[in-house]
Structure 1
Amino acid sequence: MQQPSYPPVSIFGVPTDVGAGRRGASMGPEGLRVAGLVEALLGRGIDVVDRGDLKGPKNPWLGPAGGYRHLDEVVAWNRAVLEASTVELAQGRMPVMLGGDHCLAIGSIAAVANHCRATGKTLRVLWLDAHTDFNTSQITPSGNVHGMPVACLCGIGPEPLTGLGGHVPATRVSEFRQIGIRSVDPDEKRLVKTHGLDIYDMRYIDEVGMRAAVQQALDGLDETTHLHVSFDVDVLDPTIAPGTGTPVPGGINYREAQLVMEMIADTGRLGSLDIVEVNTALDHGNATAELAVDLVESLFGKSTLMRD
């Protein structure tokens, strides 16, 4: 199989846990750097630049107001992500965002969606996560915005977030494919069914196998597709990835995770990437960040394939 070529990559860290319910995801970018992410991609022959960390407000660690915790701070961080991703995409580079918590995907995906509209590309978002992140202020149990980014991107949420990229909605529900889902709040479950979100949950994966699920999630990609992968490390089983704020038992195992990444790599369509919710404060050593780096290497073409 011919190795896909990759555009030059720009990595930037977003050291905040402002959208999360536990502290520590703010240390994720440094954990991923310590685990050797830049060196791993350079070792694959990829042109990589580390832009350093974005700046934003401190986490005030307050309770919810109007159904949202830290809304102003979440907006500020996402605006910084939007601007950073937009600059890289305009230069023909692949933005790789090191989170931070998953609320930051609002900014990164809004930037990619704008880029697709400007260039005539078709957007496909592969959302690798234990959670659908389709909560709203009316149904959220916590007010934590890291449980709301998909809803916000699809136009459901507060105007400062739904309108962040200047186009409402930033994305369509039909552009998302979610893999590894296994924790959905009851009202959120009704909402995703109402809106028809395409979800490959762990029961479905157990029934049909990971290969078939990923094939279906990637079906229809072509040379006009921009594939954005939003990789929340809590998609992985907590026995192999303990360093995350909202671990859920029954996640995907190491072999399944490698298969997902290799199948994405085989498409040659990867255009942008989020790596989020690495929480080094909850980790064993830096094992979760090291595993994430291993999997990202596979996303960029490191294959275990021994057969033609």
Structure 2
Amino acid sequence: MLNSDPLWPRAGDWPSPVAEEWADVALIGMPTSRTSLSPTQAHTTPSAVREIIRRYAALTDLRIVDAGNVREPDLNEQGAIDSVAALRAELVIALGGDNAATVSTALGRWGTAIGTAGLITLDAHHDLRDGVTNGSPVRRLLEAGLDGRRVVQIGIEPLANSLAYAERARDAGITVITRDELRVRSMEDVMAQALEIAGAGDGPIHVDLDVDVCDRSVAPGCPASLPGGISALELRIAARVAGAHPAVSSIDIVEVDAAADSADERTVRLVALCVLEAISGAALR
């Protein structure tokens, strides 16, 4: 049980949205896992994040609401899109689930503005596979009308992708910033470049924080995380920078399987901290 301290208000326990009432930030759980390429219980993660986020401090007076979890988003993708679209908030943060959550969240926020929208992914993978899986969200968004010239992929690990998908990214006009480049550039610098490219159409930007972009030592609950990824702090910085940018209308945090996390719950804790970083960024808008 957490200690009660009137001088330390805790994060979490945010109210449900009220019809027609505007919020600064809205959370929504997107427990996708049925189409994962690897067996996963990623659907357990949104609830795990909500539980652990209460260990941390609430440092802003923004109006934050929590819409709960979408019911079976894998089986009713349109329903998931509609649930996101119904949220009246400056910034929507979706708690995955696997990377399939990116499609519903982005399309729900973009609506008819997809032709001017931008996408930034922090991910070890291109997510350009064929089919409908957690490995295909970027390809599916491109096919839905997203302009590849306004897509930036940060943290791509060449050894975790095929040449065919690297060529598919190049042919689509996607800007790729590999892990090697991140060794000599700060995350603030990279995010500034990404936001400029993704925002070139003056439309809404969606940011996909795929936690498997991180080093496996800090993200053991990600089935596809690898040794040599970015640090937990770099991911937190990206979340805060994204949250602070006025064109970023939505962020998802995905590819974490809470059931496969380490005993100290370090991966779920990282997701919770990214949520709070994004909220802290939103307070700077």
Residue aligned with 1:102, SS: coil
The equivalent of 1:125 in structure 2 is 119
Cα distance in 1, alignment partners of residues 51 and 112 from structure 2: 31
Structure 1 residues 217 and 93, CA, compared in 2 at 3 Å: closer, same or farther?
closer
- Aligned ranges 1:147-296 → 2 under 5 Å: 147-155=135-143, 169-182=144-157, 183-219=160-196, 221=199, 224-285=202-263, 286-296=265-275
Residue 86 of structure 1 aligns with which residue? Answer: 85
TM-aligned CA deviation for residue 32 of structure 1 = 0.9
Shift in CA distance, 229/92, structure 1 to aligned 2, threshold 3 Å: same
Gaps of 5+ in 2: 1-21
| TM-aligned CA distance change 1:209 to 1:49, over 3 Å | closer
Q: Does 1:146 align with 2:146?
A: no
* Whole-angstrom distance in 2 between the partners of 1:280 and 1:31: 7
1:154 shift after superposition: 0.6
Q: Measured at CA, do residues 8 and 263 of structure 1 come closer, stay the same or move farther in structure 2, by a change above 3 Å?
A: closer
The alpha-carbon distance between structure 1 residues 213 and 302, as it changes in their structure 2 partners (threshold 3 A), is closer
Tell me, what secondary structure is at the counterpart of 2:206? strand
Task: State the distance in 1 between where 2:103 and 2:145 align.
Answer: 9
Q: Is the 8 A contact 1:25 1:244 kept in 2?
A: no
Instruction: Give the drift of 1:266.
Output: 4.3
**Residue in structure 1 matched with residue 62 of structure 2 by the alignment:** 46
State the alpha-carbon separation in 1 of the partners of residues 232 and 124 from structure 2. Answer: 15
Distance 2:267 2:136 in 1: 24
Shift of 1:222: 8.5
Could you tell me whether the CA contact under 8 Å between 1:101 and 1:276 is conserved in 2?
yes
The whole-number CA distance in structure 2 between the counterparts of 1:222 and 1:41 is 35
Give the CA RMSD over aligned residues. 2.8
Q: What stretches of structure 1 of length at least 5 have no aligned partner? A: 1-5, 58-73, 138-143, 156-168, 304-308
Matched positions, count: 256
**Residue pairs, 1:20-59, within 5 angstroms:** 20=36, 21-36=38-53, 43-56=59-72
Give the C-alpha shift of residue 235 in structure 1.
1.4
Paired AA for residue 132 in structure 1 = H
CA contact 1:28–1:277 (8 Å) conserved in 2: no
Counterpart of 2:99 in structure 1 is: 102
1:14 aligns with 2:30: yes
Residues of 2 paired with 1:96 and 1:265: CA distance? 9
Given the superposition, is the C-alpha separation of residues 222 and 301 from structure 1 closer, same or farther in structure 2, using an over 3 Å criterion? farther
Code of the residue aligned with 1:13 in structure 2: it is G
Normalising by structure 1, report the TM-score.
0.74
Give the alignment's TM-score, normalised by structure 2: 0.79
